[in-house]
Amino acid sequence: MAGLNARGSEPGAEDPFAKACAAHAAELYSVARHVLHDREWAEDCVLETLLRLRRSPAAHRDERGSLRAFLIAAVRNDALDQLRAPSGRSRQTVPNFELPGADVRLIDPVEAERVRDALAALPAEQRDALLRAYYKNRSLQQIADERETSAQAVSAALQAALERLDAASVRAVVL
């Protein structure tokens, strides 16, 4: 795919951005819902993010990664920004914690084992950064402060971890 800038050359040709959004809509919603814990808020977040990206097509460049990964990261980052904003905290309707055993029935044991194996195979630094970012909803700067390192080092560790998970075909399950 040629990124957000691509347009069909013929009138009536399908818009690659619209096609990508449709192909990944459920996954984008899932990411937002995981962060925000609210159906309507997650739907709004995905829509707002996609509209923002639509207005600035140069935001994605193919050489920096897949459009799918870019869209997921953009939705997740926007959801975290909304959650961390003072107005976002008042909008949160479900407490940001998990009830013991609540998700156990929903997890496929085979997938859970694949995820555990993939996470265990990551170097400790990458695994720690990934768990803090995606499961504890920490920002890059918060992780850097907690680990007494730079945000760039955390970003590099996260990128390497995500590439390893992509290679193991479990990234969509983990995130």
Q: Nearest 5 degrees, angle CA 106-CA 109-CA 111?
A: 90
Last residue of a domain, one of 37, 62, 91: 91
CATH of the domain at 40: 1.10.1740.10
Q: Is the pTM of this model over 0.85?
A: no
CATH of the domain at 168: 1.10.10.10
Residue 8 located in a structural domain: no
pLDDT (tens digit per residue) in 46-75: 999 888 888 887 888 888 888 888 888 899
Last residue of a domain, one of 91, 121, 156: 91
Strands (E) located in the chain: none
3-state secondary structure of 32: helix
User: Is residue 21 located within the same domain as residue 60?
Assistant: yes
Residue of higher predicted confidence among 18 and 48: 48
Closest by CA to 163, choosing from 128, 117, 130, 124, is: 130
User: Is residue 119 located within the same domain as residue 161?
Assistant: yes
Phi then psi dihedrals of residue 100, to 5 deg:
-55, 125
Q: How many CA atoms lie within 13 A of 125 on its CB side?
A: 11
Domain interval for residue 156 = 104-174
Q: How many separate domains does the chain show?
A: 2
User: Is residue 79 located within the same domain as residue 38?
Assistant: yes
User: Is residue 110 located within the same domain as residue 83?
Assistant: no
Closest by CA to 139, choosing from 98, 97, 66, 79, is: 79
Q: How much of the chain exceeds pLDDT 90, in percent? A: 18
